[in-house]
Amino acid sequence: MSLLHNTIESLPGITPRKAQILKKDCDIHSWADLLHWYPFRYVDRTKFYTIREITAELPYVQLKGTIERIGLKGQKRAARLSCILRDGTGTIELVWFQGVKWVSEKLKPGQEYIVFGKPASFNNSWNIVHPEMEPFSAEKAVLASKLQAVYSTTEAMKKAWLDSKGIATLIAQLIRLLPGQVPETLPQSLRTKLGLIPLDNAYRQIHHPLNQEALSAATHRLKFEELFFLQLKLIRLNKLNKQSLKGYVFPRIGPLFNDFFHQHLPFELTDAQKRVLREIRADVAKPIQMNRLLQGDVGSGKTIVAFMSMLMAIDNGFQACIMAPTEILAQQHFNGLSELAATIGIQIGLLTGSSSKKARTALHKNLESGEMQILVGTHALLEDKVVFKNLGLVVIDEQHRFGVAQRARLWVKNELPPHVLIMSATPIPRTLAMTLYGDLDVSVIDMLPPGRKPILTKHFYERDRPRILEFIKKEIALGRQVYIVYPLIEESEQLDYRNLMEGYEHLVAWFPAPEYHLSIVHGKLKPADKEYEMQRFVKKQTQIMVATTVIEVGVNVPNASVMIIESAERFGLSQLHQLRGRVGRGAEQSYCLLVTGFKLSMDARRRLETMTETNDGFRIAEVDLELRGPGDLQGTRQSGLLDLQLADISKDQALLHTCRELAIQLLNEDPELIQPENAPIRQQLDAMVARNKNWGRIS
């Protein structure tokens, strides 16, 4: 058994108090945990500067010089010890406010010292407050010349002498005991092939790097460690799920599908749509439950794919349902799908929170008898009273609004779980998607239907409003419609509503009846009123739709050609992209106007620039990930991405990809990892699973 499993209390040189604080503040319980407390940066002590070389850009400098004089300056509380250091190029003042007596006794004028610290400019000259000092000797100079680790600490830790230096001391102690204690987790052959240094060496070098090159090698090895085992874990789990999750078989492509495909398809499918349909078809022909994520940018045509997948179920005697995150969207899906369903005589129903009791009773009956073949709805579909005769396929639109727990509820209503197709309009790189949603297979629609004109996006400041209003007038005169969206977040709900209503009144004044008509939609309206306002816009009875983000998802009004987003700096990138996707759905040139105040944070500026530069959802998702980190992404917690310490899934995507490919190849060749040469990998995986019982529950 490796010493690494020892409790932190048993580390030589640690006090009970320090151990207690490490546990509480850093979750460090074992030697291994301490070993994984990586430095968050390094101070370069490989270089000596001369005093003349000091500039404001240097965060730290290491100098070599002779002490010229030492003396106390100032009175009482403001007293300080001042020391002048000279090298061949000039002098600099070294200053101490604390430990004055001790320092003054230690330092000897005329002697040579290595000085390390942060230079600051004071009264037109440089000084260093509380530098680290060491008498110079050739031997010491060599020792000092390396990258020095800096560790993060908390206030409580500092009080217990666990500042960065205190931690460094403990870790140095640990590393002395390390030889022979770190089991290698990768076979030699793999390490050689990939040029990875041994694990124990990597641990040593990440804490005590000899130079920049050694540090890079160590970081690379440890990132690989994190990503490779994460992928192995996820892929194995996915395989296990597939073995255990039995599902219905839809053996045939039947008359409904064929009839629709050959006679009623309103347009030619894109190649991407066809490919995805083939992938789904292959899944449902097997006696295993499908869990597939369909990624496609806004407007890429996911709905028709969902519909044709439902036909696969219905042709085989099953029912299908589609669940949407909002009532408006459910209604819209219902309208759109009803048109498609009518062409081939399929029974379709709608169930939302505002369905009447009478409608529900009828619906429940038709579902149970199997007469109703497709049910469209919101969360209301999950109510206990909703019982299908035989539900074969569930489509979930805009998955990020549904928790995993809700997905699971759908399964319990059947003898076998229905196939699940989740549609997402937040495209992210494929490898990453597979990592985030470990149990899902991923399909991608990576092209838009032909003939779409790219939306023109431009950033405006609030003072440009007169120009914006003129532009709206011109577009309306051309017969187009306009969305104007206001932010609404819970924390500032009152204020946001006031802005929305003020904006609305301002617009009504600018666009007076009877020439103009405006709709307004927000979360405080009753569903029926919301629906009424929406419908007026859909039917072109109003030219302007003023709304909060309730219209974010899925709303489809092809005649709308302008999207104006107010206070755009307050929206996230994926939200902006979703909103923009509400226009550009017809044949006309469409526009997106992002309106902001003058004060913009760096991140906000980057978001606005990204939006004006590209329409590519994948590209936008990448920047979003870079800006926000993985913490906000649905699925990160389950996937274990948040446990990554060194790897950054945004910056290390290439490595993530390599690791995934390797993991897939390895598990194909040796599914149970029983080959002798794979024993180290197997042991490491087992150890990981034993440590983290929750992994079994990833879903």
The burial of 688, by beta-carbon neighbours within 10 Å (0-12 exposed, 13-18 middle, 19 or more buried), is given as: middle
The item of Mg ion, ligand ADP, none sharing an interface with residue 231, based on CB under 5 to 8 Å by kind, is none
- 422 SS3 class: strand
Q: Which does 127 bind (CB under 5 to 8 A by kind): ligand ADP, Mg ion, none?
A: none
Amino acid identity of 450? P
From ligand ADP, Mg ion, none, which one binds at residue 102 (CB under 5 to 8 Å depending on kind)? none
CB crowding 32-49: b at 16 or more within 10 Å, else e:
bbbbebbbeeebbbeebb
Q: How far from the centroid of its chain's Cα atoms is residue 697's Cα?
A: 21
Q: Can you spell out the DSSP letters for 569-633?
A: GGS-HHHHHHHHTTSS-SSS--EEEEEE-S---HHHHHHHHHHHH---HHHHHHHHHHHH-GGGS
d(CA 443, CA 293): 6
> Is residue 617 part of the contact set for Mg ion (CB under 5 A)?
no
Work out how close the CB of 281 gets to ligand ADP at its nearest, in angstroms, rounded to a whole number.
17
Residue placing its CB nearer to Mg ion in the complex, 554 or 635: 554
Residue by residue, DSSP assigns 280-317 as HHHHHTSSB--EEEEEE-TTS-HHHHHHHHHHHHHHTT
Residue 267 binding result from Mg ion, ligand ADP, none, given CB thresholds of 5 to 8 Å by partner type = ligand ADP
Which residues ranging from 536 to 555 are in contact with Mg ion (CB under 5 A)? 554
The listed partner (ligand ADP, Mg ion, none) that binds 247, CB under 5 to 8 Å by sort, is none
- Radius of gyration (Cα) for the chain, nearest Å? 32
**Shortest CB 556 distance to ligand ADP, Å:** 5
Rule CB under 5 A: say whether 301 interacts with Mg ion.
no
Cα(45)–Cα(212) distance, rounded to whole angstroms? 11
Contact 329, 553 (CB under 8 A): yes
Q: Is the peptide bond before 287 cis (omega within 30 degrees of 0)?
A: no
Does 640 contact Mg ion by CB under 5 A? no
Which lies closer to ligand ADP via its Cβ, residue 276 or residue 298? 298
Could you tell which of ligand ADP, Mg ion, none binds residue 304, using a CB distance below 5 to 8 A set by kind? ligand ADP
Closer CB to Mg ion, 324 or 544, in the complex: 324
Query: Whole-number minimum distance, CB 555 to Mg ion, in Å?
Result: 9
Minimal CA–CA distance to 397: which of 341, 325, 339, 337? 325
Q: Does 584 bind Mg ion (CB under 5 A)?
A: no
CB of 564 to ligand ADP, least distance (A): 20
Q: How many C-beta neighbours within 10 Å does residue 466 have?
A: 9
Which CB sits closer to Mg ion, 333 or 419?
A: 333
Please tell me whether residue 34 adopts helix, strand or coil conformation: helix
Q: Which does 522 bind (CB under 5 to 8 A by kind): ligand ADP, Mg ion, none?
A: none
Q: How many Å is the maximal CA-CA distance in the chain?
A: 100
Cβ closer to ligand ADP: 273 or 650?
273
- CA 386, 387, 392: angle at the middle one, nearest 5? 115
Nearer to ligand ADP, 234 or 421 (CB): 421
CB of 301 to ligand ADP, least distance (A): 3
CB of 615 to Mg ion, least distance (A): 17
Nearer to Mg ion, 297 or 439 (CB): 297
* Shortest spacing between CB 582 and Mg ion, in angstroms: 11
Question: CB of 396: closest distance to Mg ion in angstroms?
Answer: 12
**By beta-carbon distance, which residue lies closest to ligand ADP?**
301
Which residues would be at the binding site for ligand ADP (CB under 6 A)? Answer: 267-270, 273, 296, 298-304, 425, 449, 556, 585
Report the interface residues with Mg ion, using CB under 5 A.
Answer: 554
